[in-house]
Amino acid sequence: MPELNPQTDERFEVSERTSMAYGTKFLTGNFPKEELYPVAWNRENNLFRQSLFIGLEGKVNYFLTAFVNQESLEVSEASSFLRKIDPITQENLLDYEEDEIQESIFRIRTSPSISCKELANRLLTLLNDAKEEEASIAIDSFRNFYSFFQINTNIKCPTISLTPENNIYASWKSKQNRVFSVHFLAKGSVRFVIFKPNDRHPEQQIRLSGTATSDILRETVTPYGVWDWISE
């Protein structure tokens, strides 16, 4: 699937609908009927909602919602996710962070290099679940996780969950009692756990944990054969 860039793709046109409380814009894309671009997010009741739009008559709508009352806000039409230009407050900061997470999920969805397409769905579900608990994903942990997947594009989808500090915890498991779990911390740090069979003593299991940074995690765990079974 080709990389999708709504701002530069000529197949998109921006239309605008006004509402009392929300400024909602739509990007309308024209695609072949068989082409599926499941990339629409809409925040209702403060939750992100993803919709699938199959190319009915070649039309795909992309919802771009400014999320909050816009009376005091300027909205950038050029952005795929509308920016709020407002004095910095804690609430605004959280909004910016959520927009960044949302935008990164969009990039994961449309990136041809990341093999795990399910990853965007899982992140979106996690984000929605966090919102239900009046929390979010810790932005530094998310950046670290996102950076890891940009470097390591051909790995299988992990199960992703949130720690009590709202950090991302990714876990790969296999039927052979193999576990590889990574706790994504701030500043690029990771803590990992490996469970693997002891090849010389099948009744035994090797268990270890460690600390590294996400950019060298692959080299760090190479001696334990982790990438052999988490790669596509």
Partner 1 sequence: MKGDEIPDQDHIARYCRPTQAPGGEIQAVAFFLREDEESLSVNWMEFLSCPNRESEIAQLRNIYFAKLNRVAAGAKIAVLKVGEIRQKVLMESQDRRNLKVLHNPEVNDPSHSGIYNLKPDYELIAELILQTVLEAYPARR
β-sheet bridge partners, residue 54: 36
Site for partner 1, residues 51 to 70, rule: CB under 8 A: none
The contact mask relative to partner 1 for 167-206 (x = CB under 8 A, - = no) is: --x-x-------x-x-x-------xxx-x---------x-
Least Å distance between CB 129 and partner 1? 4
Residue 206: enclosing H or E segment and its boundaries?
strand 205-213
161 near partner 1, rule: CB under 8 A: yes
Decide: helix, strand or coil at residue 171. Answer: strand
b/e 135-151 (16+ beta carbons within 10 angstroms → b): ebbbbbbbbbbbbbbee
Q: Cβ-count burial of 193 within 10 angstroms (0-12 exposed, 13-18 middle, 19+ buried)?
A: middle
126 near partner 1, rule: CB under 8 A: yes
Among 208, 216, 222, 231, binds partner 1 (CB under 8 A): 208
Least Å distance between CB 9 and partner 1? 32
Residue 225 corresponds to which amino acid? G
The contact mask relative to partner 1 for 71-110 (x = CB under 8 A, - = no) is: ----------------------------------------
Least Å distance between CB 158 and partner 1? 10
Measure Cα distances from 163 to 68, 147, 211, 221 in Å.
28, 19, 17, 22
147 near partner 1, rule: CB under 8 A: no
Residue 150 corresponds to which amino acid? Q
- Measured CA to CA, the distance from residue 18 to residue 75 in angstroms comes to 13
Tokens of 5: 């860039």
Which residues of the shown chain bind partner 1 in the complex (CB under 8 A)? 122, 125-126, 129-130, 132-133, 135, 159-165, 169, 171, 179, 181, 183, 191-193, 195, 205, 207-209
